């Protein structure tokens, strides 16, 4: 990952702890990107669609990842 101040090991430790407790979680990883710097249109579209799907799923609505926004 591309952030010198937030090491990816912290994320994997959290994931390991959640898995050990059988706690569901979701994550979106964008290797090589720093927070919001360097995003391409494809990255932004993926993030937007994935975020909208998460919101729909959290509210019991059907996923629309493959439809146009």
pLDDT along the chain (69 residues), means of 10: 75 96 89 76 90 86 54
- Rounded to the nearest angstrom, the gap between the alpha carbon of residue 69 and the centroid of all alpha carbons in its chain is 18
Give the bridge partners for 37, in sequence order: 34
pLDDT recorded at residue 64: 54
Q: pTM of this prediction?
A: 0.61
Domain boundaries, the chain: 1-31, 39-69
Rg (CA), the chain: 14
Q: Cα(60)–Cα(5) distance, rounded to whole angstroms?
A: 36
Q: Are 1 and 8 in contact (CB under 8 A)?
A: yes
């Amino acid at each position: 990952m591309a952030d010198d101040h937030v090491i990816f090991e912290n994320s994997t430790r959290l994931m390991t702890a959640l898995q050990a407790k059988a706690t569901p979680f979701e994550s979106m990883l964008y290797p090589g990107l720093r927070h919001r710097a360097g995003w391409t249109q494809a990255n932004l579209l993926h993030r937007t669609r994935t975020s909208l799907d998460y919101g729909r799923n959290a509210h019991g609505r059907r996923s629309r990842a493959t439809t146009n926004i």
